[in-house]
Amino acid sequence: MARSRKFVMISSVAERFDIHPQTLRLYEREGLLNPTRSEGNTRLYDDETLARLETILTLTRDMGVNLAGVEVILRLREQIEALAERVENLEDQLRERSAPTTRVRRNFALVRLKGGPLVKP
């Protein structure tokens, strides 16, 4: 069952976060935000974009980071997330490869004697 995404227009976002719409447009020009566009080219913000905006505002307002620093932090964060996903995939592959295989009953197993041929125990 596909979940539909909710979108919010720029005026609502600006009001909700107490930020001027021009600032949101600036963040988009700087590549920090990438809102979806409607057929009429209206900016539409989904939950993921709003969460990213909250991060940007925390960095700029609360921590005093400039926009260049925000860009670096967001890029590093994305790289960390991608690497974490890659590590998780590699761990899954490793678990699959090291999972116990079907055990062979002892009386049907072939064993090698030291330096000798394979024999049935």
Q: Side chain identity at 24, as an amino acid letter?
A: L
β-bridge partners, 44: 9, 36
Model confidence at 66: pLDDT above 80: yes
* In the predicted structure, residue 4 carries a pLDDT above the cut 70: no
What phi-psi label fits residue 41: left (phi over 0), alpha (psi between -120 and 50 degrees) or beta?
A: left
Radius of gyration of the chain from its Cα atoms, rounded to whole angstroms: 27
| pLDDT value at 21 more than 60 | yes
In the prediction, which pLDDT does 5 show? 78
> For a pLDDT cut of 90, what percent of the chain falls above it?
71
**What is the 3-class SS of the chain, one letter each residue?**
CCCCCCCEEHHHHHHHHCCCHHHHHHHHHCCCCCCEECCCCCEEECHHHHHHHHHHHHHHHHCCCCHHHHHHHHHHHHHHHHHHHHHHHHHHHHHHHHCCCCCCCHHHCCEECCCCCEECC
- Nearest CA to 120 out of 104, 100, 106 is that of 106
